Amino acid sequence: MTDEQTSETLLEVDAISLSFGGVHALVDVSFDIRKGEVRSIIGPNGAGKSSMLNVINGFYHPQEGTITYQGRARKQMRPHDAAAGGIARTFQNIALFKGMSTLDNIMTGRNTHMSKSLFWQALRIGPAQREEIEHREFVEHVIDFLEIQSIRKTPVGRLPYGLQKRVEL
């Protein structure tokens, strides 16, 4: 990873506050994530972890503060806009196709980014075939980034929980 990549801020969370009635779920939370970083939010139950993730991906809208993603302020971002822009999250319950390989599960997650209809995707000809090849190359980069090359062809139902979470991501 180059110095240029590590210095590029992708997500900046600045002074976020979120309340539900009189309950202050988040108070003045700030952090940033640079290109190539993987971060986690840890803490005890009720600490605001899920609330923070829900603010980032647009499920909740903070009363104060700003979120900047790829240089654009996103105060009222909607969840589907966040997903289209590349912001994703996982939940505690894993939602994978247990009989399918790691590669196939990740390819399935890319389906929302494909522009060709399911009919053309099933035929795998012409533009649909080219599009699938492009998405396959992208997925191979994701597999490399997550360092899960050795389980590329393994059915996810045979993987330990931690690796299943990585595939789900």
- The answer to pTM > 0.95 is no
3-state secondary structure the chain: CCHHHHHCEEEEEEEEEEEECCEEEEEEEEEEEECCCCCCCCCCCCCCHHHHHHHHCCCCCCCEEEEEECCEECCCCCHHHHHHCCCCCCCCCCCCCCCCEHHHHHHHHHHHHCCCCHHHHHHCCHHHHHHHHHHHHHHHHHHHHCCCHHHCCCEHHHCCHHHHHHHHC
The verdict on residue 76 lying in a domain is: yes
Share of the chain above pLDDT 70, in %: 88
Confidence of residue 159 (pLDDT cuts 50, 70, 90): very high
Q: What CATH number does the domain containing 7 carry? A: 3.40.50.300
Identify the pLDDT of residue 36: 85
Question: Exposed/middle/buried for 151, CB within 10 Å: 0-12, 13-18, 19+?
Answer: buried
Identify the pLDDT of residue 1: 44
Identify the pLDDT of residue 94: 83
Both 22 and 79 in a single domain?
yes
Give the model confidence (pLDDT) of 54-87 as tens digits.
999 888 999 999 999 888 887 777 887 887 777 8
Domain boundary among 31, 55, 84: 84
- pLDDT of 102 higher than 80: yes
Identify the pLDDT of residue 117: 63
More confident residue, 140 or 6: 140
Identify the pLDDT of residue 93: 77
Both 72 and 37 in a single domain?
yes
Please tell me the total count of domains within the chain. 2
Arithmetic mean of pLDDT, 93-117? 83
Both 7 and 61 in a single domain?
yes
More confident residue, 108 or 90: 108
Both 137 and 164 in a single domain?
yes
The verdict on residue 97 lying in a domain is: no
More confident residue, 14 or 36: 14
The verdict on residue 89 lying in a domain is: no
Both 59 and 115 in a single domain?
no
Domain of 117? 102-168
Both 7 and 80 in a single domain?
yes
